[in-house]
Structure 1
């Protein structure tokens, strides 16, 4: 015959826990109605004491109230359970002059042959439970609930600030808010539940009075007992009944106070107690000296005080030695760590790691990063990262700022993967004045060159700022100069800052809401590295990649026609034609273009050859130089007339032509005919022709 194993019973209990608990609570209500035999009452009283012990032990080992969030409800259930047992025991005491062995045993143990002493001891226990423990726990619950609710707005603002600054993610912020709400609900529930405990204590006192008066009356009038026998019988039973109900109530009220007062604990109560006591070994010597002095008083029991003084002195000596050994151990570990760092066998790999983007500053610029000194450079860098994400779709990882004492005091430099790329100089406390008109104007300041665009500028003081602003100058502070330079620097070298991991993260973002787009492309028929190369080529030409979904969809369509990288880049550009064209319009919403003479375009198209770095027009050196000079001359003429031209050519020639001119004219955009959208108005401002000679 097959029987359930222990695991089977455990699974059955887990699956039906809610039904079992509901039945148990319903059973508590039935205890009030159904008379219990003494043996059953003993069993239920034992369960009450056991439950109280378990609850107080749990509170000893919790580190935060929410670990025992069911406690307020449990407090109500246990209160109802004790009251039900009180009613059952009162019924037995008054009807049968007995209430089981547990109540009788507690009563006889406390009374100990002297009913007056026993009654006094019981009254003291009841008063402690009602006046001290219950009132104290209720007051702590009330105050904690009030302060928790008052602190909620500040805590909520702190969570929002951490989320907005990027210190925590959306999931963690949501979890913190949920925990904050649960804490407020918990302390509010504890405040209400403590009122039930107070009512339980009052009900216990009333039941005790009823048991004594009613019991003596029933014993004398109905059961024919003499007065002394009746007093003896009902006093023992009443005191026993009161103790059996008050002891669990005392334990649970104490547990309530412990749970609330340990809201900021880091470890269990025992661990915190031991750790915080042994932090002050010198206190033990002081207390030992005081006890020894008290023991010298003739009326005092000297042996007791001397023994305690000796024990405390020994404890203090042991703790002091333990602290010294711990300090020596820490010093040895620090020394070993320094030796290991000098050997550097484990830290070599860390030296190989470089930040994608890093700023180094001279010591005069350090206050710009210090919030206490009024510096807001760190906050501005966060704003730069957000701006680039919004404009370019580029995720720039946190930018590390390091002070470099080898730099000139006012200098800063930008590094990409550890290599110095660009830099400039600032003058903290001064303002940079720029002349947007370009006219020669004498300014009473320190002449310099604006680091971002290389324009002439002057450093002026705060007193001169208003004067130069009235003269039509653009005036900015030092952090703005650095941030502007950094923004343009990142846009220029964005293609070097997007790696495979960054590409993977962009793809994962798309995968969350548009999984079909990603599953149709990565890892087959394209790898992450191939997608990265397409994104890098777009960023090289200042094409934003924020519409990543369109880019991936275009790649998914194009890769099935041709896997050539140049073809895929041009295919994606055509999908982004609208945003590319609109970014190149002038103030009149016109696209000003420079075209190639048909002979030049045909010559360069015929010269296109595939290379390892992509297709490139391979011309004879002298001819290539002439073509470059002609293009540069035509572009310069257009710029001199106030135009902002782009080169327009055939789709096949566009990317090779861009590679052909990028070294000499990196800022000149090149468009193909396929990238011009119909609603754009085109204005031809020049044509590239070759000199016949």
Structure 2
């Protein structure tokens, strides 16, 4: 039984988990145990192959986080090279007197084939490779990683704010927000790790120089003292072995350093390095034409290599021609298709049909029209990121407010500006704006550290000052405290704001009926007893619209139905029924306005003003009955009190007697839309009230 346990245990383990420990143990073994020349050849070949794999992987990754393990790979490959240096040094010093193949065929090949067997040339080549690796590639990659780490850490608060803004706007769900936060944290950790790992590569370059010098000096001593070799033979054998050993380690080190520079120096994009080079470096035919002309012109100058320059000039000219031809092909195809259709339309003009009822198109409840530059945002074949966000907006709206908004009908409008869009409600324009596709809107929340270059504008949803900036300034803007969003998010946020503020207009008769049909699945008896037995459908719709006009969610339909069933026999007036329903929803209304607190910070009316308003109610019963001077005083005092509440960071709420609440809510809604009016009857007994200001008191 014991003989079977070990294989079963091994088979149950993840073989991938054994790779890293086995590699570390192998590197330690190479430092301690002597290796035969053949095994050394295998490991040197593996080291070169690993360097090539790392370089190609770095070239084909789209984002730095796609190769998150790179800092660890950098450390492991560096330790592998140092282990091989130790193992090769041992065999060079012990067997170097036997000839240049003492340390294996790989070192011999690098010593003879690459440097022609001339140790002076080998020393020069080795020094040049080391200088390139140490002073250029490694130093530059380390500096980029250091700066990237600092900017990634500085940008974390701005990125977190942008994620929270998308989450609050309903553009993403909790899982997506969690994924983005993890990605932001991983990005900062990656650049920090790269900053530290780059020091290993620089240390490896220094170690390569020292090991090579030690091998040469030590080989001379061993060869001349222990093996009685003459100076010429000793310096030839041991120098060729040392230089070959150094080149075998230094070339993979240079390849790994280049890979590190590629990873940390790339700008975030959805393309790999090859696609970016082809798309950006060879994108303009005029650049190829001018380059070909300059290189060809150099070939005409006497003394220049005419054939080489003329061939290169012709090659660049041919590349420019191919690029230009490929760019004109779609336009030529479109022109040919239009020309083919033109004769048919000219020869047979269609007869105009009689008008029918089918020509009368219904008005869309919610419509979004975009200019032609914004079509990629709403085209499913081109990604259509805005389509997914609109679905998220409707879902979040339904979950929070309590009913499903009508679908958004999207169409292009060539009469709009190329980057403009228009939001219509029942055919009437309710919002417009511009969104620069490919750029980012940097919104100033009021605490930024400085200005940015770009086109100044205002956030179309909330009117905050903002700037349209290029994609390259996104990180800088987040570091400076701006909330940075793309064009699709700008439109989606504006649309979400429109839907929320016009929720009562979106709740039509059909939506109410669909809501009742949905509720009937869970509480069929309550719905059947209410509509139409006690309350007509139109009265229920008006009550729900009244609630939505004042920002009260209608998710708790059970309480609404129960309250209406209780008071419907007393009155059929929608406004009175709304007052009763608000009292029933009082706890939810207060929770919506003051989440997470037991103390309500509110404004209230001065006693004298309250008595005047009560008299106006008894005399006229409407806001129109207010005397003009009294109305002006009430508006100005309420505006000042609201501003005071907002400066304190609390929701402006005016607490008034129940009879005054409908009057003041309708009257103040137009001039102070952010002010909420509550009645004393709507406040639960468990809440504590703290009055911060009196409206109508002595100022």
- TM-score normalised according to structure 1 size: 0.55
2:259 is equivalent to residue 255 of structure 1: yes
Deviations 1:40-88 (A, max 9, x none): 1111111111111111111111111011111111111111111111111
CA separation of 1:579/1:175 partners in 2, compared to 1, >3 Å: closer, same or farther? Answer: farther
Contact 1:159 1:176 survives alignment (8 Å): yes
Determine which of 125, 129, 144 is the counterpart of 2:133: 129
8 Å contact kept, 2:296–2:310 = yes
The answer to whether structure 1 residue 204 and structure 2 residue 208 are counterparts is yes
Task: Provide the rounded CA distance (Å) in 1 between the counterparts of 2:423 and 2:406.
Answer: 18
Identify if the C-alpha distance between structure 1 residues 122 and 353 changes in structure 2 by more than 3 Å, giving closer, same or farther. Answer: farther
Match for residue 116 of structure 1?
120
Instruction: After superposition, give the CA deviation of every residue in 1:454-473 in whole Å (9 maximum; x if it has no partner).
Output: xxxxxxxxxxxxxxxxxxxx
2:531 and 2:28 mapped to 1: Cα distance? 69
Equivalent pair of 1:133/1:253 in contact (CA under 8 Å) = yes
Q: Name 1:65's counterpart in structure 2.
A: 64
Q: In the aligned structure 1, how far is the partner of 2:409 from the partner of 2:286? A: 46
Structure 2 runs not aligned, ≥5 long = 1-7, 97-101, 351-357, 370-393, 416-421, 431-497, 585-616, 623-680, 686-699
Alignment of 1:179 with 2:199, yes or no, is no
Post-superposition offset of 1:29: 2.1
Whole-angstrom distance in 1 between the partners of 2:398 and 2:521: 23
Q: Tell me what 1:41 maps to.
A: 40
Q: Secondary structure at the match of 1:309?
A: helix
Work out whether residues 495 and 536 of structure 1, in 8 Å CA contact, stay in contact via their aligned partners in 2: no
User: What is the SS of the residue equivalent to 1:292?
Assistant: helix
* Counterpart among 235, 238, 242 of residue 242 in structure 2: 238
Alignment match, 1:18 = 17
1:156 aligns with 2:155: no
Match status 1:551 vs 2:534: no
Q: Give the Cα separation in 2 of the matches to 1:153 and 1:582.
A: 42
Correspondence for 1:215: 219
Query: Is structure 2 residue 507 aligned with structure 1 residue 494?
Result: yes
Report Cα offsets for 1:648-687 as digits up to 9, x if no partner: xxxxxxxxxxxxxxxxxxxxxxxxxxxx99x99xxxxxxx
> What is the deviation of 1:522?
5.1
Distance 2:82 2:527 in 1: 69
Deviation at 1:161, TM superposition (A): 3.2
- Look up the match of 1:435: none
Q: How far is the alpha carbon of 1:191 from its aligned partner?
A: 0.7
Of residues 301, 305, 311, the one that matches 1:301 is: 305
| Corresponding residue of 1:542 | 543
Rounded Cα–Cα distance in structure 2 between residues aligned with 1:530 and 1:105: 95
Superimposed CA distance per residue, residues 388-409 of structure 1 (whole angstroms, 9 cap, x where no aligned partner): 989974554688899999xxxx
Deviations 1:100-153 (A, max 9, x none): 111111111123132222221222112211111111111121122222223333
CA distance in 1, matches of 2:528, 2:281: 59
How far 1:204 moved relative to its partner?
A: 1.0
Q: Secondary structure at the match of 2:543?
A: coil
Q: CA deviation at 1:92?
A: 0.8
1:491 positional shift: 4.1
Distance 1:247 1:354, change over 3 A: farther
> For 2:327, which of 301, 323, 329 is the aligned residue?
323
Secondary structure in 2 matching 1:49: helix
Task: Tell me, in whole angstroms, the C-alpha distance in 2 between the residues paired with 1:80 and 1:174.
Answer: 36
Question: Does the 8 A contact of 2:111 with 2:117 survive in 1?
Answer: no
When residues 34 and 299 of structure 1 are mapped into structure 2, their CA distance, relative to the original with a 3 A threshold, is same
Are the equivalent residues in 2 in contact too, given 1:284–1:312 (CA < 8 A)? yes
Q: 1:199 to 1:333 in 2, by over 3 A?
A: farther
Q: How does 1:78-117 map to 2 (within 5 A)?
A: 78-97=77-96, 98-117=102-121
Q: Per-residue deviation at 1:193?
A: 0.6
Deviations 1:473-513 (A, max 9, x none): xxxxxxxxxxxx99998548735263688789xx8xxxxxx
Q: Does 1:194 align with 2:198?
A: yes
Q: CA deviation at 1:287?
A: 1.9
Q: Give 1:285's match in structure 2, choosing from 283, 289, 312.
A: 289
Residues in 2 aligned to 1:531 and 1:104: alpha-carbon distance in whole angstroms: 96
Aligned pairs for 1:182-581 (under 5 A) are: 182-329=186-333, 355-357=364-366, 393-394=402-403, 396=405, 491=504, 494-496=507-509, 498=511, 539-540=540-541, 542=543, 546=553, 548=555, 551=558, 581=580
Distance 1:199 1:91 in 2: 21
Preserved CA contact (<8 Å) 2:27 2:79: yes
Preserved CA contact (<8 Å) 2:40 2:103: yes
Shift of 1:255: 0.4
- 1:551 is paired with a residue whose SS is helix
The answer to whether the Cα contact below 8 Å between 2:65 and 2:187 also exists between their aligned partners in 1 is yes
Structure 1: unaligned runs, 5 residues or longer: 1-8, 344-348, 361-384, 406-411, 424-484, 508-517, 556-565, 586-638, 645-675, 681-693
TM-score, normalization: structure 2?
0.55
SS in 2 for 1:265: coil
User: Any conservation in 2 of the 1:359–1:415 contact (CA below 8 Å)?
Assistant: no
Aligned length: 459
Deviation, structure 1 residue 582: 6.0
- Structure 1 residues 261 and 391: CA distance shift in structure 2, 3 A: closer
Q: Which residue of 2 aligns with 1:620?
A: none
- Displacement of 1:532 in angstroms is 11
User: Shift of the alpha carbon at 1:313?
Assistant: 2.0
Q: Which has the larger radius of gyration?
A: 1
Contact 2:401 2:555 in 1 (8 A): no
**Residues 496, 131 of structure 1: CA spacing in aligned structure 2 closer, same or farther, 3 A cutoff?**
same
Distance across 2 between alignment mates of 1:413 and 1:220: 90
Aligned 8 A contact 1:281 1:319 in 2? yes
- Separation in 2 of the partners of 1:580 and 1:120? 92
Aligned to 2:453: none
* Aligned: 1:146 with 2:150: yes
State the distance in 2 between where 1:257 and 1:87 align: 27
Cα distance in 2 between the residues matched to 1:230 and 1:359: 84
Greater relative contact order: 1 or 2 (C-alpha under 8 angstroms, separation 6 or more)?
2
1:77 and 2:51 correspond: no
Change (3 A) 1:87 1:113: closer
**Equivalents in 2 of 1:55, 1:203: separation in Å?**
21
